[in-house]
Chains A and B, each alone.
Chain A
Amino acid sequence: MATVSATGEELTLGRKLLLLNWPLVLLLCLISAIGVGMLYSAGGGSWEPWAMRQVMRLGAALVLMLVVALIDIRFWLRYAYAIYFVTAALLVGVEVAGATGMGARRWIDLGVVRLQPSELMKIALILGLARYFHGISIEDVGRPSRLLAPVLMTLAPAFLVLRQPDLGTAVMLVIAGATIFFVVGVRLWKFAAVGALGLAAMPVVWSFLRPYQRQRILTFFDPETDPLGAGYHILQAKIALGSGGVFGKGYMQGSQAHLDFLPERQTDFIFTMLAEEFGLIGGLEVLALFLVLFAYGFGIALRIRNQFGRVVALGVTMTVSIYVSLNIAMVMGLVPVVGAPLPLISYGGTAMLSVMVGYGLLLSASIGKDTAIGKSAPFDDF
């Protein structure tokens, strides 16, 4: 069975550019620009050391996003498994020969770039799962035996990431996987069952956690016990937020951020600095921008007529949205400090790259939204 587009013809590059969801691209640029502005402030009103490099990374990531977007969605379907397994292999590689940075093995040093496979895995997992659920019928989804493989596809990389140790990313992978399971129609009682199993497995997971991770979780439940230790970060973040008030202290006037009371102000706690300098209004604005971005994602996903594209689009949207929620909830003391950056805004190359590649895939799926793709043999056209 051959796959054909709705119009029955292949899309030209120009047509693809026309079909590209430009408002979404603009929204991404806008949010990223806010991030650059905050990094300029974090550097003490200087392009060094963060803002300039973020701008360059952003440029490269935008180009990469467009390239990914303009490649046909069927290409990504075809190589979805390949991408997933190569990334999984890289994760194993990190385990074997990873360079140690910040007390955790996260990078593969390729000489030119330092590769962080756990970041790539977020995208690869979406691709892999989308590919899997694209290929099985709705009845198959109801059969537990057919769910074993995707569960393994999710848990194996999560386990590897946890060992690095990177609790935040591991949790994120599991949640992103679960979201995809949910959206393809896995029965709710199965989630309940797995949840119960997970609770039972907690002691096992606990034994894998490093002391500092355990401390962070314990501190979360009772932050006042250790105001100068692990609870210090949460308290200082709350002070920054609270002292910002409704209108904020003004751009580059955040005393908490600029006097170094705020930990990691350029990465995990950048939202705190934003809310300190621009107040409740600034914080809500950013939150609203993200909501618009997600609304676009949902809208696009619902209009896609092939399962693979739909799952990819929703998977990317949900992953990014969970990151945003997790990060903001974390800096406001609602969840433990797990080390999750704020997508598009926090300083960091690989994270920026993976988000942009994710949105490239989403845009690619959007362009090919009318492409009907059969469950099997999807590679005939290539």
Chain B
Amino acid sequence: MYRDNERYRLFTRRAALLAGAKLVVASVLAGRMYQIQVIESDRYKMLAEDNRINMRLIAPPRGRIVDRFSSPLAVNRESYRVLLIAEQTDDVNATLEKLDRLIGLGKSERRRVLREVGKRRSFVPVTVREGLDWRAVAKIEVNAPYLPGISIDVDFARDYPHSVKSAHVLGYVAAVSEPELGGDPLLELPGFRIGKEGVEKTRDLALRGKAGASQVEVNAMGRVIREVGRVEGVPGNEVRLTIDMAMQTLAQDRLAYHQSASAVLLGVETGEILAMASTPSYEPNQFVRGLDAETWRSVISDPMTPLVNRSLSGLYAPGSTFKLVVALAALNSGRWWPGRRTYCRGFMELGRAQFHCWNKHGHGWLDLLGAIEQSCDIYFYELAHKIGIDRIAEMAVELGLGAKLLSELPGEQEGLVPTPGWKLAATGEKWQGGETLITGIGQGFVLTTPLQLAVMAARIASGRAVRPRLVIEPAADGTPPDEPLFPALEIRETALRVVRRGMDAVANRERGTAYRYSIREPELELAGKTGTSQVRRISKRERGSGVLKNHQRPWRERDHALFVAYAPVERPRYAISVVVEHGGAGSSVATPIARDLLLEAQRRDPLGVDADNRLAWVETAPGQG
């Protein structure tokens, strides 16, 4: 038994060693537990909360954009879609079968849904169809008990009820692009859209509103277990424009007869933009839905550039409309008087260069009024030569040319009021005397936008430094804001009066260049100035062989037709500019458009009626639904 005892003692010793080792292991485990659960506990508690809680942003509804009478221009339309949640139905196929009988699913649509159901986790909703109409929604809702797993989801899509007619002013919203990310976490929401053009872009922050947030508890698969907390968002503000959609529609309709044209209608005293039309236009609703690559390419490569708002991005030599600037500069300088006469024989010479009048037979003896009325080039060459380029440039700036006027829309061009200093800086060359003459009839370097031309007309009509406005800011006390009074221009009233009389003569005297297309109704007559902006230089050789008439030239080489005007002649209320690209002579193409718009503006008188009183009219107006 000795051996057995020894074996027993050895066993006991070894067992004691094992037990000791076991205790060591247990202490290590307890120590590790202490380390994780006590020392590092805070860190892990935070990680556990991060795991558990997810922030879900709630997109606020985008603010509406309305016209001056609160008629909606940009709204959020409810858009319905059918969702399928696979785990809520026992048989996906049977559910789709029933849905098929209700709204007619195609075979390929069903295959796509089944494929997506297979790919996703069973609690993730799969979109069966988007953009359902009301009838389909009603059918599904009524049959809901027989359609397990099917639900209807309401989404809001931006909608522009006036489509192409308001596109350039409103712009459009579209999905956020990579470089626009950052700052507002809303931008990272899938499907969120921000303003890309027009007022939608410049007023994006106000329209967007503030995101709400929902704190949800999620599990490891991302399934929402419950809502822990919720912060409601702030809906976007409504933006009210100065636009009168009726006038805007009329303007777009009138321009639609031309390939490429624009018109801006202003309130003379307030600078409020009532219509800002540009053609060709585009369908903004297409952009909201998202364009396919092919359509996008065709839109941006269109030589007619439908995306460009010509009213403030289009640059045109003002042509004869600039003669108003020159006349005012001359009269204001005191170096010229209205009765001073000049003889026009169809051309004049300065140094070795010859300068031509549009009437090659000459106008004969003319005073200033007659020169404006008949738009004699020779008279204005003389005028420009007499007073010099600097006075002309000064007056141009005083009338609103050569600078941006409106902050409410992107893409506005400054235009150009040339001076010798500018020329030296830009080209390194000295100013030539002949260039002053050319500038005197609105050709050469000088460039303006239609908006600037409309503002110029409003400033001449009112004698005040009118600035255009597009948005009606809500007054703090809720009443419409007082009409802003712009400071008076630094131009002698007598000078302004002469030029106004000249514009009156253009439209209402028999030899006036706009007489044929003017307003005949008493009290509503307009005063204006025609302009023809030369697109190409006429060479000497050409002039020798006879200048081609506009309609004989290819469209791209035809002159731009311009017209600036205000109405009525006495106590003017509305100012307008119309530019028809390659329209030929200003009088015959641009003038009738301005006439129709000014006549309708005076009859409708959107400025004359308090917006609140107009609401009743808006309710019954057609096309407002």
Contact = CB atoms under 8 A, between A and B. Distances in A.
A182 B10 CA distance: 10
Nearest to B6: A138
Nearest to B43: A242
Interface string B10-54: 111011011100110110111011101110110111011101100
A261 B18 contact: no
A287 B225 contact: no
Residues of B contacting A: mostly: helix
Contacts of A138: 3, 6-7, 10
A131 B241 CA distance: 98
Residues of A contacting B: mostly: helix
B48 A243 contact: yes
Contacts of B45: 242-243, 245
B218 A241 contact: no
B15 A298 contact: yes
Given A241-B33, A259-B218, A302 B41 contact: no
A255 B19 CA distance: 37
B476 interface: no
Interface string A294-320: 110010011001010011001000100
Contact of B51 (A261, A283, A332): A261
B10 A246 contact: no
A185 interface: yes
Contacts of A137: 3, 7
B460 to A, nearest CB: 71
Contact of A183 (B11, B218, B220, B221): B11
A149 interface: no
A301 B22 CA distance: 15
B48 A260 contact: no
13 contacts: A185-B14, A238-B36, A239-B44, A241-B37, A242-B43, A245-B41, A246-B38, A256-B48, A261-B51, A261-B219, A280-B34, A287-B33, A325-B22
A256 B51 CA distance: 8
B11 A279 contact: no
Contacts of B14: 182-185
A242 B15 contact: no
Scoring B32, B37, B51 by chain A CB atoms within 10 A of each residue's CB, the highest score goes to: B37
A301 B13 CA distance: 12
B272 interface: no
Q: Which range contains the number of A residues in contact with the other chain? A: 35 or more
Given A246-B37, A275-B33, A310 B48 contact: no
Nearest to B48: A243
A341 interface: no
Interface in A331-375: 332, 334
Contact of B38 (A255, A280, A291, A310): A280
Nearest to B32: A332
Nearest to A235: B47
A231 to B, nearest CB: 14
Interface in A126-145: 137-138
Contacts of B8: 305, 310
B269 interface: no
Given A183-B11, A261-B220, A329-B29, A242 B18 contact: no
Nearest to A326: B25
A13 to B, nearest CB: 29
Contact of A318 (B6, B18, B41): B18
B217 interface: yes
Scoring B18, B43, B221 by chain A CB atoms within 10 A of each residue's CB, the highest score goes to: B18
A255 B15 contact: no
B216 to A, nearest CB: 11
Given A259-B52, A259-B218, A261-B51, A184 B41 contact: no
A326 B293 CA distance: 60
A137 to B, nearest CB: 6
3 closest A-B pairs by CB: A242-B44, A243-B48, A259-B219
A17 interface: no
B41 A185 contact: no
